[in-house]
Amino acid sequence: MRVLGIETSCDETGVAVYDTQVGGAVGLLAHAVYSQIALHAEYGGVVPELASRDHVRKLLPLIRQTLAEAGLKPADLDGVAYTAGPGLVGALLAGAGVARALAWALDLPAIGVHHMEGHLLAPLIEDDPPEPPFVALLVSGGHTQLVAVDGIGRYRLLGETLDDAAGEAFDKTAKLMGLPYPGGPQLARLAEQGRSGEFRFARPMTDRPGLDFSFSGLKTQVLLAWRQSDQSEQTRIDIARGFEDAVVDTLAIKCERALDEAGCETLIVAGGVGANRRLREKLRAVAAKRGGRVCFPRPELCTDNGAMIAFAGALRLRAGQRASAGINVVPRWDMAALPPVGEPIDVGAR
Ligand code: KG4
Ligand code: ZN
């Protein structure tokens, strides 16, 4: 089954074609991402109306480009998947509208995909995918969650952030140290050269039981350290390293606890912060120590992309799930409410 995936929940237009006939990484026939970073940079953050308009502008050219790269014509497709939420409502509607219109014109089944389920399943696009049950660490710009995955579509929330998401903490911390938008990846790049231990920040909420996170206090600690420092380039680099160490350690400690609680030794990691090199290293070391396994998508499939939507949608379409023909999006959507895959269910608006 060849499924076209369309992602437009925020500031990235992602398009891909995934073929369920072929296993592993070759299942992904083509994928392309257009980032709106330059468009939003002068405002220091995403401007929703500009994002929606840019998705409208870029979607059809990107779909044509992706189909050409896959060597396919529209008539070769068997289904369409699009991000139906959570996300910016106008941006979601741009993708859902195009996806629905295509499905209607080509007489194809279509399904709205939960953006975080897309992230969660992205590691399974790679070779030798793990089988559930496993624990998923979802670390993006909007979410930080630990999820027990009992099966595809069977998700139990173990813990989540009480305030800022991990990616949001990276972005805000970068901003307060004067790095240009979007700061997260730039802060991570600076941290690569930083000296560990020059600045030591708290590992929030690791001194008490539980699997929830809190990252907003860390940002304040960094702000104080930065204000009281000489604000030299070396200091910026060392603070970036201290901040990254704190986030990475905190995530690793909670991942170990979640594995203990779930009673399993397979961890999967997804979402933009999953591209972080030091987080990947640390979690690999944790898995090696425990004799377990950690799986990540390649870094370009950690951040927003169409491949994860094509893949998650393909699993659901193949199981007989379909959305009704209306153009419906769900800006706020609880992942635990998703139907399991394997039972043919009319998921209605979703
Ligand atoms: O998953 P994603 O692309 O979008 C959302 O669904 O939010 O995640 C974007 C987030 C941003 O906050 C960005 O700063 C962060 O992921 N991010 C990183 C890195 N690359 C992206 N954070 C730390 N290190 C990175 N290398
Ligand atoms: Zn995302």
- 3-class SS at 190? helix
Q: Does the pLDDT at position 325 exceed 60?
A: yes
| 97 pLDDT tier (thresholds 50, 70, 90) | very high
Distance from the alpha carbon of residue 303 to the mean position of ligand 2, in angstroms? 6
Q: Report the distance separating Cα 187 and Cα 180, nearest Å.
A: 10
pTM: 0.95
Distance from the alpha carbon of residue 183 to the mean position of ligand 1, in angstroms? 9
- The DSSP code for 6 is E
Q: Report the distance separating Cα 137 and Cα 328, nearest Å.
A: 28
Ligand nearest to the CA of 271: 1
- Which pLDDT belongs to residue 137? 98
Q: Report the distance separating Cα 310 and Cα 80, nearest Å.
A: 8
Distance from the alpha carbon of residue 76 to the mean position of ligand 1, in angstroms? 34
- Which pLDDT belongs to residue 342? 73
Distance from the alpha carbon of residue 45 to the mean position of ligand 1, in angstroms? 13
Find out whether the beta carbon of 188 lies less than 6 Å from any atom of ligand 1: yes
Q: Report the distance separating Cα 197 and Cα 32, nearest Å.
A: 39
Q: Cα torsion at 14, 91, 166, 149 (round to 10°)?
A: -70
Stated length of the chain? 350
- Which pLDDT belongs to residue 24? 47
Distance from the alpha carbon of residue 273 to the mean position of ligand 1, in angstroms? 5
Residue of 114, 139, 170 to test ligand 1 pocket, by largest number of atoms within 8 Å of CB: 170
Best CA proximity match to 91, nearest among 59, 121, 45: 59
252-276 residue pLDDT tens: 999 999 999 999 999 999 999 999 9
Find out whether the beta carbon of 140 lies less than 6 Å from any atom of ligand 1: yes
- Which pLDDT belongs to residue 346? 47
Distance from the alpha carbon of residue 133 to the mean position of ligand 1, in angstroms? 26
Residue of 273, 276, 282, 308 to test ligand 1 pocket, by largest number of atoms within 8 Å of CB: 273
Find out whether the beta carbon of 305 lies less than 6 Å from any atom of ligand 1: no
Q: Does the pLDDT at position 348 exceed 70?
A: no
Q: Does the pLDDT at position 15 exceed 50?
A: yes
- The DSSP code for 42 is T
Find out whether the beta carbon of 118 lies less than 6 Å from any atom of ligand 1: no
- The DSSP code for 79 is E
- Which pLDDT belongs to residue 21? 82
Domains of the chain, start order: 2-121+301-349 (3.30.420.40), 132-296 (3.30.420.40)
Find out whether the beta carbon of 272 lies less than 6 Å from any atom of ligand 1: yes
**How far apart are the two ends of the chain, measured CA to CA in Å?**
20
- Which pLDDT belongs to residue 349? 41
Atom of ligand 1 at shortest distance to CA of 142? 7
Mean pLDDT of the chain: 95
- Could you give phi then psi for residue 34, rounded to 5 degrees? -110, 120
In this prediction, residues 138-162 reach a mean pLDDT of 97
* Structure tokens, 239: 């603070």
Q: Report the distance separating Cα 1 and Cα 254, nearest Å.
A: 38
Cβ atoms of residues 312 and 291 within 8 Å? no
- Which pLDDT belongs to residue 147? 98
